[in-house]
């Protein structure tokens, strides 16, 4: 596929989408609240169907995620942020589109490339930035860092450093919801590389067999670290592969936030309706290297430049301007607000403490001998 190969909701594989379902591309806007505004306060929230998001809100969220990550890259170079950092720059349409389609009580299981998912799910930028700094005010008390953002109140169950490690967790969460009669969906986000892992096959099989409410969201950015898709997978049509487990599978243009939102909403409806799992392949591209350590020597610069022509932020901005629902002044105002939010988050992270040494064994669950050390 090339950057120009737009394929929103083309029903690549699996059972055909029901005729009752709407097209994956929506041109309408509503005033539906964002997930951020309706964040869950518990793990048993019930869920009403989610309506189409306001596309201008999708754009603003993408700008916020992009700028947050650009700032993180600067802070990493300044050694304020340490450890592994994986940016989703270029993939923001996937993050905001899929999160917009989830209800507060739905669960999310993500990967190490999850900053965008966390922010779009409504986690505060301050708690995410503090986690990047390893500070106690971070969403994981500074114990996880970039790859382990976590927030139970939003049913955001990580951040996971293990490729495909989230898939069995998602199946377990969905099984718990099913057994307890809760009408929740678990969105399980993973990369194309995860589909080469055994955990994908085990999870897809069980989810389909037991008709579990899992939405498998595959962010196909064409690379697993430095390995191109076709060098890793015998069958590069990932939706077709998923369909072989007996689940509905679609492919969507992951550079188009509106298309992702619509396709995810359609898939979520189907899963919540009790039809078992769905699989959504989101075709996207990362503009930056795999991680801050990656010299990025395995792909042509011209390929990156070609995909940048499909940058989801200017693409949506142009569409909204042509519809008359966006002005340059709006974007300028948002950019200023976002800058202020980021700098406030950085200042708060700088001020915060690291977790005290006395708390080192606080979450160690094995028995101790009373000295604070695990026995
Ligand atoms: C089980 C396991 N094997 C290998 C690695 C090393 N590793 C880290 S990221 C990565 C590539 C994963 O690619 P993909 O799933 O496509 O996600 P992307 O980074 O493209 O978002 C690999 C192999 C790991 N973290 N876990
Ligand atoms: Mg990948």
What pLDDT, in 10s, does the model give residues 266-296? 999 999 999 999 999 999 999 999 999 899 9
Q: Above 70 in pLDDT, residue 3? A: no
Structural domains of the chain, count: 1
Residue 8 within any structural domain of the chain:
no
Tens digit of each residue's pLDDT (9 = 90 or more) over 204-233? 999 999 999 999 999 999 999 999 999 999
* Contact indicator for 280, 263 with CB cutoff of 8 Å: yes
pTM (predicted TM-score): 0.87
Average of per-residue pLDDT across 181-185: 97
At residue 226, the pLDDT reads 97
Q: Is the CB of 138 under 6 A from ligand 1?
A: no
Tens digit of each residue's pLDDT (9 = 90 or more) over 50-85? 899 999 999 999 999 999 999 999 999 999 999 999
CA distance 304 to 306: 5
Q: How big is the CA angle at 157 (ends 30 and 338), to the nearest 5 degrees?
A: 50
Q: Which residues have C-beta within 8 Å of that of residue 131, sequence separation ≥ 6? A: 138, 139, 140, 142, 144, 145, 146, 148, 149
Q: Where are the alpha helices (DSSP H) in the chain?
A: 55-77, 92-100, 115-120, 125-132, 166-179, 198-209, 229-232, 238-243, 257-270, 301-308, 312-323, 328-351
Residue 62 within any structural domain of the chain:
yes
Q: Is the CB of 191 under 6 A from ligand 1?
A: yes
Tens digit of each residue's pLDDT (9 = 90 or more) over 6-24? 333 333 333 333 333 333 3
Q: Above 60 in pLDDT, residue 247? A: yes
Q: Which residues have C-beta within 8 Å of that of residue 358, sequence separation ≥ 6? A: none
Instruction: From 114, 160, 163, 282, give the residue whose CB has the most ligand 1 atoms within 8 Å, as the site to mutate.
Output: 163
Task: Look at ligand 1, atom 9, and give the residue with the nearest C-alpha.
Answer: 225
Q: Above 80 in pLDDT, residue 48? A: no
Expressed in angstroms and rounded, the spacing between residue 20 Cα and the centre of ligand 1 is: 37
The domain that contains 122 carries what CATH number?
3.40.50.970
Q: Is the CB of 221 under 6 A from ligand 1?
A: yes
Residue 12 within any structural domain of the chain:
no
Expressed in angstroms and rounded, the spacing between residue 331 Cα and the centre of ligand 1 is: 35
Q: Is the CB of 225 under 6 A from ligand 1?
A: yes
Residue 355 within any structural domain of the chain:
no
Residue 214 within any structural domain of the chain:
yes
Q: Which residues are registered as beta bridge partners of 282?
A: 219, 252
At residue 81, the pLDDT reads 97
CA distance 100 to 2: 26
Residues within 5 A (CB) of ion ligand 2: 191-192, 221, 224
CA distance 159 to 138: 14
Q: Which residues are registered as beta bridge partners of 107?
A: 186
Domain with 178, as residue range(s), is 55-350
Residue 375 within any structural domain of the chain:
no
At residue 221, the pLDDT reads 98
Residue 64 within any structural domain of the chain:
yes
Residue 184 within any structural domain of the chain:
yes
CA 335, 337, 339, 342 dihedral sign is negative
């Amino acid at each position: 596929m090339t950057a120009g190969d737009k394929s929103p909701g083309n029903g690549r594989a699996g059972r055909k989408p029901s005729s009752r379902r709407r097209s994956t591309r929506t041109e309408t806007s509503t005033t539906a609240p964002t997930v951020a505004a309706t964040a869950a306060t518990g793990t048993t929230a019930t869920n009403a169907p989610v309506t189409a998001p306001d596309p201008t809100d999708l754009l603003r969220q993408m700008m916020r995620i992009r700028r947050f990550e650009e700032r993180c890259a600067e802070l990493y170079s300044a050694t304020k942020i340490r450890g592994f950092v994986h940016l989703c720059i270029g993939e923001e349409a996937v993050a905001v589109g899929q999160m917009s389609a989830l209800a507060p009580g739905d669960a999310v299981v993500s990967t190490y490339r999850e900053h965008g998912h966390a922010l779009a799910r409504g986690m505060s930028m301050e708690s995410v930035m503090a986690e990047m700094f390893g500070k106690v005010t971070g969403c994981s008390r500074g114990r996880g860092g970039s790859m382990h953002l976590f927030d139970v109140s939003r049913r955001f169950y990580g951040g996971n450093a293990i490729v495909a490690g989230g898939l069995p967790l998602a199946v377990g969460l969905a099984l718990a919801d099913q057994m307890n009669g809760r009408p929740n969906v678990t969105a399980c986000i993973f990369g194309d590389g995860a589909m080469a892992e055994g955990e994908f096959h085990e999870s897809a099989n069980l989810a389909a067999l037991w008709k579990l409410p899992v939405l498998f969201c595959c962010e196909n950015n064409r690379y697993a670290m430095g390995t191109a898709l076709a060098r890793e997978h015998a069958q590069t049509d990932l939706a077709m592969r998923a369909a072989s487990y007996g689940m509905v599978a679609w492919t969507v243009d992951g550079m188009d936030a509106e298309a992702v939102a619509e396709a995810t909403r359609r898939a979520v409806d189907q899963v919540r309706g009790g039809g078992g799992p769905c699989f959504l392949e989101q075709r996207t591209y990362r503009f930056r290297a795999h991680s801050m350590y990656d010299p990025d020597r395995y792909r042509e610069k011209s390929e990156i430049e070609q995909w940048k022509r499909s940058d989801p932020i200017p693409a949506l901005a142009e569409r909204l301007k042509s519809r008359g629902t966006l002005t340059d002044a709006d974007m300028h105002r948002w950019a200023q607000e976002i800058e202020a939010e980021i700098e406030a988050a950085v200042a708060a992270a700088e001020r915060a403490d690291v977790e005290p040494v006395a708390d080192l064994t606080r979450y160690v669950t094995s028995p101790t001998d009373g000295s604070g050390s695990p026995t």
